[in-house]
Amino acid sequence: MLQVAYIRENREKVVSGLNKRRFGNAAETIDKVMELDDLRKNTQSKHDQVLAESNSLSKQIGGLMREGKKEEAEEIKKKTADLKMESKQLGEELSRCEEELKQLLYTIPNIPNDNVPEGAGADDNQVVYEHGTTPKLSENALPHWELIKKYDIIDFELGNKITGAGFPVYKGQGARLQRAMVNFFLDEALKAGYVEIQPPIVINEDSGYGTGQLPDKDGQMYHISEENFFLIPTAEVPITNLYRDVILDTGALPVKHVGFTPCFRREAGSWGAHVRGLNRLHQFDKVEIVEIHHPDNSYAALERMCKHVQGLLEKLQLQYRVLNLCGGDMGFTSAQTFDMEVFSAAQQKWLEVSSVSNFETFQANRLKLRYRGEDNKMHLLHTLNGSALALPRILAAILENNQSDEGIKIPDVLVPYTGFDTIR
């Protein structure tokens, strides 16, 4: 969430950033924020003045009674009663104003970093790096949704029977390969200095607001109505919320965590050939990296996190590219995002497998995640997160790109984890 003080001091920059995001009515929205903030300040000032006057008069009552000036005391009592009523009304007005301002701020996305390119959607994202070559497959190569049937390693029909569409059942070598990737990704993160966290996969509403999934992604999250809980869309949410309402000592920075969880997304939208098989799921597994940094260091950290993900893809021997997302394609909370996509030779398309983002102070402001600076004042920290990695599309690419008449070859780095080198 943007800070009102920042909006006031940087109105033109904020409006320009929102326009880069293709956020409608940016100028009007920002002016409404400042109008509500002015109203809040004026109401607060009136409220404080009325309280001060009421308190001052109340102190006089006792003295007047002791002096026998009962009539004067009663007059002041009436005035204080009127002031208390006015104070109550102003307090209620102040609460309404603060709530309206907060709800409006919740609808405003983060401001893109200056290095975010202009653009309206995915076609305008900038390819900043490519690695590897496209594997040459035989003419009878199959997409992964056919391979999983051929080798009986993932069963969508069983998942549909148990739950519904988008909830696959992993079987035999498919389940072992899935577990192998999780352990490999976790081990690589530990080598890179991340501390492993195993968080809850159900969150409360405060956690959803803290990292910005609520109210923006309300309709895309599974909701448990009785307790007002939500199933997590990513481990980023519970891990980052470990630091809600926390003041960190600068000596404790950076914070680096990794967590493996199932992730749940309702994924509103159409289902068709472009999202067949593992390309879009309601439940999937993911290893997530989360970092918290001093503002001066967060963009260097973003670059290192991207390199970490790229290193995983290279060890898996997958062709990939890195995209700098344009303003119109960025997530609501992000200040800058780099996507990593792997190439599926059987589908002849790029598949997104990771997003690495710097949120700057946007989440920290909601979380009240701060540090005490050299000026002895409180300042907001920067939060970052990245997929390292999401499993379904990685698995799809491994299956498709490594298929042959002899079976599906397992990447060398995963063999110690799987216990086999080929799916047959």
Binding-site positions for L-serine read: 234, 265, 288, 385
Residue set of the binding site: 234, 265-267, 288, 352-355, 385
Cβ-contact 120, 330 below 8 angstroms: no
Instruction: Look at residues 251, 358, 222, 236 and name the one whose alpha carbon lies nearest to residue 290.
Output: 236
| Residues in contact with 51: Cβ distance below 8 Å, sequence separation at least 6, in sequence order | 87
Instruction: Look at residues 259, 216, 225, 217 and name the one whose alpha carbon lies nearest to residue 241.
Output: 259
Cβ-contact 385, 236 below 8 angstroms: yes
Torsion, Cα of 214, 369, 102, 43 (10° steps): 170
Cβ-contact 2, 332 below 8 angstroms: no
d(CA 323, CA 338): 5
Instruction: Look at residues 180, 178, 183 and name the one whose alpha carbon lies nearest to residue 153.
Output: 178
| Residues in contact with 293: Cβ distance below 8 Å, sequence separation at least 6, in sequence order | 253, 254, 255, 301, 381, 382, 383, 384
Helix (H, G, I), strand (E, B) or coil at 217: coil
| Residues in contact with 170: Cβ distance below 8 Å, sequence separation at least 6, in sequence order | 153, 154, 178
Structural element, H or E, at residue 415: helix 415-418
d(CA 339, CA 324): 7
| DSSP-derived pairing of the beta strands 247-248 and 370-372 | parallel
For 109, the token pair is 């996305």
Q: Mutual orientation of helices 26-66 and 11-20 as an angle, nearest 10°? A: 140
Residue set of the binding site for ATP: 265-267, 352-355
Concatenating the DSSP letter of every residue in 243-296 gives: GTT-EE-GGGPPEEEEEEEEEE----S--SGGG-GGGS-SEEEEEEEEEEE-GG
Cα–Cα distances (Å) from 198 to 70, 195, 214, 292, 318, in that order, read 69, 10, 22, 18, 28
